[in-house]
A and B are shown apart, each in its own frame.
Chain A
Amino acid sequence: SQTIHQWPATLVQPVGSPLSLECTVEGTSNPNLYWYRQAAGRGLQLLFYSVGIGQISSEVPQNLSASRPQDRQFILSSKKLLLSDSGFYLCAWERGVGGYTFGSGTRLTVV
């Protein structure tokens, strides 16, 4: 069966520090991969998506970047975190037929 792993679960980082969040999918190949952010309240904001290795589409210009070094690995990064980067980050995958499977999320607090 397919599983998605996302870590860490929680993270407290100082302003100006770098960030690396990792997401991996098991049990499937060629997944479409997505990074979302959920700020205070409930809205889900699409940050990046990838339909293949090295292919990254950015939905919102900001202080973050994404990379897909392997078929089932998706990484969210920042060189210097801002206070506004705080939030709940979610990775998700789907196979091009609709319906996301989300990871368990990373709660990021920038202090």
Chain B
Amino acid sequence: GENVEQHPSTLSVQEGDSAVIKCTYSDSASNYFPWYKQELGKGPQLIIDIRSNVGEKKDQRIAVTLNKTAKHFSLHITETQPEDSAVYFCAASKGSGGSYIPTFGRGTSLIVHP
């Protein structure tokens, strides 16, 4: 089955700095890679995703890159703000039987210091 490794487990940055979270996956058939942000006491929220036919996707201060050959993808947050502090999860999945069941990374706790 799929295996997703996520690093670092904790990331501490100063407000205004950039933050990068990296994930690797094992199943070359995976073709959908979402990122979720989970604030304390809440459910995770999808913030950006990328499919295997695209190498990079950007949405304002957030971007995701995908390297299919190396089987790794990364989340980039620029100009970090205190409200970016949360746990971030990466995931890898492929469509099967009409559903996409992701394998999640173990999460990265991002702390943005004002």
A residues in contact (CB < 8 Å) with B: 6, 32, 34, 41-44, 46, 49, 51, 90, 92, 94, 96-105, 107
Contact = CB atoms under 8 A, between A and B. Distances in A.
Interface of B: 32, 34, 36, 38, 41-46, 49, 51, 87, 89, 93, 95, 97-102, 104, 106-107, 109
Contacts, number: 63
The 3 A-B pairs of least Cβ separation, nearest first, read: A102-B43, A42-B107, A98-B32
A32 B46 CA distance: 16
Contact of B98 (A32, A43, A99, A103): A32
Given A32-B99, A43-B104, A43-B106, A98 B49 contact: yes
Given A100-B36, A102-B43, A102-B44, 15 more contacts: A34-B101, A43-B104, A49-B99, A51-B97, A51-B99, A90-B44, A94-B100, A96-B98, A98-B32, A98-B49, A98-B100, A100-B44, A102-B45, A103-B43, A104-B43
A32 B97 CA distance: 11
B95 to A, nearest CB: 7
30 contacts: A6-B43, A32-B99, A42-B89, A42-B106, A42-B107, A43-B106, A44-B89, A44-B104, A49-B99, A51-B98, A90-B43, A90-B44, A94-B100, A96-B95, A96-B98, A97-B100, A98-B32, A98-B49, A98-B51, A99-B34, A99-B46, A99-B49, A100-B34, A100-B36, A100-B102, A102-B36, A102-B43, A102-B44, A104-B42, A107-B41
A76 B34 CA distance: 25
A99 B46 CA distance: 7
B34 A98 contact: yes
Contacts of A97: 95, 100
A47 to B, nearest CB: 12
B46 A101 contact: yes
Nearest to B93: A98
Nearest to B109: A42
